[in-house]
A and B are shown apart, each in its own frame.
Chain A
Amino acid sequence: MREQMGLSLKVAAVFILLLVGLPLGNFYLPDLMGSKVGGLTLTWLILGILFYPLTWVLSYVFVKQSESIEHRHEGEF
Chain B
Amino acid sequence: MELIPFIFVVVIVLATIGLGIWATGRSKTASDFFVAGRSVSVFWNASAISGEYLSAASFMGVAGLIMKNGYDALWYPVGYAAGYLFLLLFIAGPLRRFGAYTIPDFAEGRFDSPTFRKVAVTFVLFIGFFYTMPQMKGAGVTMASILNWPYWAGIVVVGAVITFNVAIGGMKGITIVQAFQYWVKLFAISAPVFVIMALTGHTGLDAAKTFGDPAVTPRITPGAEIKIKGKAAVPANAMSFAASEPTLITFPKGAILSKIGPARKPEPGEDPITADALVGHLPGLQYEASATAPPIPGNAEGYTCEPGSVFITKTVTVTKGGQPVMKDGKEVKTSAKIEFDQPAVVSLIKPGLKSEVTDASDPEAGALAPNTSPNGKWLNPFGAMTSKWGYPMLYTYSLIIALVCGTAGLPHILVRFYTNPDGRAAKRTTLWVMVMLGAFYFFTPIWGVLGRTLMPVLYANGATDSAVIKLPTLLENKVLGQVLSGVTSAGAFAAFMSTFSGLLVSMSGAFAHDIYGKIIRPGASADSRLKAFKIAAIGVGFLSIVLGLLVETFDIATMVGWAFAIGAASYFPLLLLGSWWRGLTRYGAGAGMLLGGLCSVGAIICSMLLDKKVLTWNVSPLIRSLMEQPAIWAVPFSLLTMVVVSKATAGSIPANVRVKMLRLHAPEGMGLSKDYVND
Contact = CB atoms under 8 A, between A and B. Distances in A.
Interface of A: 1, 4-5, 8, 11-12, 15, 19-20, 23, 26-27, 30, 33-34, 36, 38-41, 43-44, 47-49, 51-53, 55-56, 58-60, 62-63, 66-67, 70-71, 73-74, 77
A39 B207 CA distance: 6
Contacts of A15: 82, 85-86, 89
Given A40-B211, A63-B428, A74-B670, A8 B442 contact: no
A47 B76 CA distance: 10
A67 B92 CA distance: 13
Contacts of B580: 5
Contacts of A11: 85, 89
A69 B617 CA distance: 55
Contacts of A39: 203, 205, 207, 211
Contacts of A44: 71, 74, 379, 445
B435 interface: yes
B382 A26 contact: yes
Contacts of A5: 580
B264 interface: no
A62 B90 CA distance: 11
A17 B442 CA distance: 22
A62 B71 contact: no
Nearest to A5: B580
Interface stretch (B115-123, B130-138, B392-400): B392-400
Contact of A70 (B81, B211, B400, B667): B667
B259 interface: no
Nearest first, the 6 A-B pairs at minimum CB distance are A52-B438, A39-B205, A26-B381, A70-B667, A74-B669, A8-B89
Contacts of A43: 71, 381
Contact of B400 (A4, A19, A30): A19
B645 interface: no
B89 A41 contact: no
B340 interface: no
Nearest to A76: B670
B180 to A, nearest CB: 23
A66 B84 CA distance: 16
A44 B380 CA distance: 9
Contacts of B647: none
Interface in B45-90: 71, 74-75, 78, 81-82, 84-86, 88-90
Contacts of B439: 52
B427 interface: yes
Contacts of B404: 19
- Interface range on chain B (Cβ under 8 Å from partner): 35 or more
Contacts of B354: none
A26 B580 CA distance: 34
B75 A55 contact: no
A40 B381 contact: no
B157 to A, nearest CB: 35
B38 interface: no
B511 interface: no
Contact of A52 (B396, B427, B441): B441
B93 interface: yes
B667 A23 contact: no
Interface string B403-441: 010000000000000000000100110110011001101
A8 B78 contact: no
A26 B665 CA distance: 39
Secondary structure of the A side of the interface?
helix
Secondary structure of the B side of the interface?
helix
A58 B86 CA distance: 11
Contacts of A12: 85-86, 89-90
B546 interface: no
Given A23-B381, A39-B205, A1 B665 contact: yes
21 contacts: A1-B661, A8-B90, A11-B89, A23-B396, A26-B380, A26-B382, A27-B381, A39-B203, A47-B75, A47-B78, A48-B74, A49-B442, A52-B439, A55-B85, A55-B434, A56-B435, A59-B431, A62-B88, A67-B424, A70-B667, A74-B667
Nearest to A11: B89
Nearest to B400: A19
Contact of A4 (B74, B438, B665, B669): B665
A41 B442 contact: no
Contacts of A62: 88-89, 427
Nearest to A9: B89
A53 B438 contact: yes
Contact of B205 (A40, A51, A59): A40
A74 B423 CA distance: 14
B442 A52 contact: yes
A15 B169 CA distance: 39
Given A12-B85, A23-B393, A63-B427, 6 more contacts: A19-B404, A41-B379, A43-B381, A52-B439, A53-B438, A73-B670
Contacts of B207: 39
A47 B71 contact: yes
Contact of A60 (B396, B431, B438, B667): B431
A26 B74 CA distance: 13
A56 B75 CA distance: 17
Nearest to B376: A34
Contacts of B430: 59
A75 B393 CA distance: 49
A52 B439 CA distance: 8
A8 B86 CA distance: 9
Nearest to A18: B82
A48 to B, nearest CB: 5
B89 A70 contact: no
Contacts of A55: 81-82, 84-85, 434, 438
Interface string B642-670: 00000000000000000001000101011
Interface in B555-588: 580
A49 B449 CA distance: 14
Given A62-B88, A77-B670, A70 B379 contact: no
Contacts of A59: 84-85, 88, 430-431, 434
Contacts of A36: 211
Interface in B179-218: 203, 205, 207, 211
Contacts of A67: 424, 427
Contacts of A71: 667
A40 B434 CA distance: 24
A27 B211 contact: no
Nearest to A1: B665
B424 A70 contact: yes
Interface centre among B207, B441, B667, B669 (most CB of A within 10 A): B667
Nearest to B423: A70
Given A44-B74, A55-B434, A63-B428, A33 B669 contact: no
